[in-house]
Amino acid sequence: MRFSIYRYNPETDKKPYMQDYDVDVKEYNCQMVLDALMAIKNHMDDTLSFRRSCREGVCGSDGMNINGKNGLACTMPLTSLNEPIVIRPLPGLPVSRDLIVDMSQFYKQYEKVHPYLQNNEPLPAKERLQSPEERAKLDGLYECILCACCSTSCPSFWWNPEKFVGPAGLLQAYRFIADSRDTETNTRLAGLADPFSVFRCRGIMNCVDVCPKGLNPTKAINHIKELMLAETV
Amino acid sequence: MVKSVLGVNHRGLRDWIVQRVSAIMLAIYFVGMSAYILTHPQLDYQTWHSLFSHAWMKISTLIFILALLFHAWVGMWTIFTDYIKQAGLSFLLQILVIVGLIACFFWALQILWGI
């Protein structure tokens, strides 16, 4: 199988370039894109750099652009792709080397939404209880693995990465807004009501299209907008 | 008046509401106007003139134009802040658009009340 992979080493290369590799996927028993990348690194070219860890779609380390669409290399079957398989780093973020991007901007936006439970009521003796219905509201929100596939497929995040929180951050913002145990809902909403943080989302749903966990950030973003509207009318 | 929990900086929400409400107003006028044109296949100058001589028609057209201008402003501002990264140029373009839109408003006023 032929792979065309984005290469860039800032210490030796003036410009990024695409390098072709022909991988015998049967010999190396490759099922997923990550298996092929590992085969290249272990048997053909150990200078190829990429992140990976759990190799089963849980850690979110190996987000990359595969044949023009963001996804996790470890959960993308080779049989679903047309040759040559073109692999590039996640778009819109600075490239550190090859397929490794600098995620600082992404994490800064994540930090902005205070992604942790805030509760100013006295601590109960045991734990803060939730009804099954209240807990069900967090389904489709808590599963995010922060792989950045969604935010780096979003043009609004490309144009304003320092102002627009991005789908991943906003999904997490809504995860805590929707949490019955969190008492800072209004502060959270107020923190997002400027023209950029949430409203730069134009609802094109690239995020929904690429999410490897099948989540729907656009829906969460619309819930945030609706709650803000309800607060002002 | 109830103080909003969203604080003073909720221009994002305001623009978002303006964009949607103005879109609905544009749609209503557009559908109404299309229906009028379709039901008047032999539309001549006299009929068109008498339609616009009514005060209600002038006012609804003016509301349509105001909705169009606000809609255009929110859209243009979004485009400028997305694509024009040079602050001075962005500022200049925004001023030009505002002046242009205000000019359009007075022009529309002059046309409508000149009938």
Q: Are residues A154 and A52 in the same domain?
A: no
Q: How many structural domains comprise chain B? A: 1
Q: Whole-model pTM?
A: 0.90
Q: What is the CATH number of the domain that holds A58?
A: 3.10.20.30
Question: Residues 6 or more apart from B67 whose CB is under 8 A from it?
Answer: B21, B22, B25, B26, B29
Q: Are residues A207 and A155 in the same domain?
A: yes
Residue A97 forms beta bridges with which residues? Answer: A100
ipTM at complex level: 0.83
Is the per-residue pLDDT at B2 higher than 70? no
Is the per-residue pLDDT at A158 higher than 90? yes
Contact A228 B11 (CB under 8 A): no
Q: Given this model, what pLDDT does residue A56 score? A: 94
pLDDT in tens, A168-204: 999 999 999 999 999 999 999 999 999 999 999 999 9
The Cα–Cα gap between B84 and B101 comes to: 20
Is the per-residue pLDDT at A207 higher than 50? yes
Q: How many structural domains comprise chain A? A: 2
The answer to whether residue B93 sits within a structural domain is yes
Share of chain A above pLDDT 70, in %: 100
The answer to whether residue B109 sits within a structural domain is yes
Split at pLDDT 50, 70, 90, the class of B3 is low
Q: Chain B closest CA to A224's CA: distance in Å? A: 11
Residue of A nearest to B77 (CA): A195
For residue A195, give the nearest of B6, B7, B15 by CB distance: B15
For residue A232, give the nearest of B4, B15, B83 by CB distance: B4
Split at pLDDT 50, 70, 90, the class of A232 is confident
Q: Given this model, what pLDDT does residue A66 score? A: 97
Residues of B whose CB is below 8 A from A197: 12
Among the three residues A58, A85, A101, which one is the final residue of a domain in this structure? A101
Q: Given this model, what pLDDT does residue B9 score? A: 73
Q: Given this model, what pLDDT does residue B115 score? A: 81
B 2-21: CB under 8 A from A:
4-7, 9-13, 15-17
Is the per-residue pLDDT at A81 higher than 50? yes
What is the overall mean pLDDT for chain A? 96
Q: What is the mean pLDDT of residues A37-55?
A: 96
Q: What is the mean pLDDT of residues A210-215?
A: 96
What is the overall mean pLDDT for chain B? 92
pLDDT in tens, A31-43: 999 999 999 999 9
Q: Are residues A173 and A221 in the same domain?
A: yes
Q: Given this model, what pLDDT does residue B10 score? A: 82
Supply the range of the domain harboring residue B98.
Answer: 11-113
Split at pLDDT 50, 70, 90, the class of B4 is low
pLDDT in tens, B40-70: 988 999 999 999 999 999 999 999 999 999 9
Q: What is the CATH number of the domain that holds B61?
A: 1.20.1300.10
The Cα–Cα gap between A15 and A9 comes to: 9
Q: Are residues A115 and A223 in the same domain?
A: yes
Q: Are residues A220 and A114 in the same domain?
A: yes
Q: What is the mean pLDDT of residues B30-38?
A: 95
Question: CB neighbours (10 Å) of residue B101?
Answer: 17
The Cα–Cα gap between A103 and A218 comes to: 22
Supply the range of the domain harboring residue A81.
Answer: 2-101
Contact B5 A198 (CB under 8 A): no
